[in-house]
Structure 1
Amino acid sequence: MKTRRAVILAFLVTAGILLQLLESFVPVVMLVPGYKIGLANIAGLFALYAYGTRDMVSVTVCRIFLAGLLTGTLFSVGFLLSISGAVLALSAMALARKSGLFSIYGVSVAGAAAHSVGQVLAVTAIYQQYFMQMFLPVLLALSIVSGLLIALVTERLLIRMRHVIGRTQPGRN
């Protein structure tokens, strides 16, 4: 791995951790418990479009583990929800990107929706309670908004950072 790429990926992990920590301080008054926009996912989506699937997975997994370590929540319920949502989201985003059928917006929405499904499945498995499944339709609707917002910000960053990542066209591998 080239030094420049390693530094950018480390920066993305750091930026993702900071966005995750900042978002945890913002109270979100919603009908759905625990809903967050997912600003930290900008880092993973950026890595996917700048460098590829492997780097997206690396950035996202490192971000989740390091944020859990820094906040003292490593292997807590919140951490388990985050990692379970991320596993499905990363899979969905990789498949959507590889298919070539979706823009960055579709890939981001697919990831956000899959993340919601993963978290609901994890809550159901951990607590053996099925009430959270009632929130899934609302979570999926909110995932569309979150996914579009994350994609918009990421697309703008890719355009502004194209000289740094060495791409002439943002989002092209």
Structure 2
Amino acid sequence: MKNRVAYFGVFTALALIFSYVETLIPFHIGIPGVKLGLANLIIVVALYKMSLKETYLLSVVRVVLSGFIFGNYFSIIYSLAGGLLSLTVMALLKKKGGFSILGISIAGGVCHNIGQLVIAMAVVETFSVIYYIPVLLIAGLITGLLIGIAADGMLKRLVNIIF
């Protein structure tokens, strides 16, 4: 039990560090809400190394803490919606089998943006933000691929570590 708590703390700290690093990277393509999602790397790795319950808890803790530290109320709401939808889809695809970590991560990246877009439609009370969907889907695909490549590399190095 003690090791599980320690690993959870390490994963939480890593996710917060990646969230902070992301705030330092000037990544602006002119579309609101498009980010690299570096902290999602930790969530993808946790999906393969921790129980699903712990991974959901990690995702919520990461979003809430990073929102309080680096964002605001709306960033927490948007990130929770995207993160929980993303994690749910990734967990379902992993359970079903037949998908590589790259495919699962790409699906997670795309679904993260879809979750945020649904919340944006509810907040602004209009469907007109749906016009962002092509750009957000492409951004989710690219960032999901990059996170998947990094997660695959991390998991190959963590193969002997049992959490």
Report the TM-score, using the length of structure 1 for normalisation.
Answer: 0.87
2:50 equivalent to 1:51: yes
Instruction: Kindly report which structure 2 residues correspond to 1:8-157, keeping only aligned pairs within 5 A, or say none.
Output: 8-71=7-70, 73=72, 76-157=73-154
CA distance in structure 2 between the partners assigned to 1:6 and 1:148 by the alignment? 30
Structure 1 residue matching 2:26: 3-state secondary structure: coil
Residue 31 (structure 1) shift: 3.9
**Which stretches of structure 1, 4 residues or longer, exceed 6 Å deviation after superposition?**
none
Residues in 2 aligned to 1:90 and 1:96: alpha-carbon distance in whole angstroms? 10
**Residue aligning to 2:3:** 4
Q: Deviations over 1:75-117 (max 9, x none)?
A: x111111111112111111111111021111111111111110
25-34 or 145-154, larger mean C-alpha shift: 25-34
**Alpha-carbon separation, structure 2, partners of 1:82 and 1:139:** 14
Aligned length: 163
How far the C-alpha of 1:55 sits from its partner, in A, is 2.1
Contact 2:59–2:84, Cα closer than 8 Å, also in 1: no
What's the C-alpha RMSD, in Å, of the aligned pairs? 1.6
Cα distance in 1 for partners of 2:32, 2:71 equals: 21
**Alpha-carbon contact 1:5-1:165 (below 8 Å) kept:** no
- Whether the aligned pair in 2 keeps the contact of 1:85 and 1:118 (CA below 8 Å) is yes
| 8 Å Cα contact 1:105/1:151 also seen in 2 | yes
Q: 1:139-163: CA deviations, max 9, x gaps?
A: 1112111111111111111111223
| 1:16–1:43 contact (8 Å) kept in structure 2 | yes
Gaps of at least 5 residues in structure 1 are 167-173
5+ residue gaps, structure 2: none
Opposite residue 161 of structure 2, the aligned amino acid is V
Please, what TM-score do these two structures have when normalized by structure 2?
Answer: 0.92
Matches within 5 A, 1:162-173: 162-165=159-162
Any idea what the Cα deviations from partners look like across 1:114-146, whole Å, max 9, x if unmatched?
A: 111010111110111333211111111121111
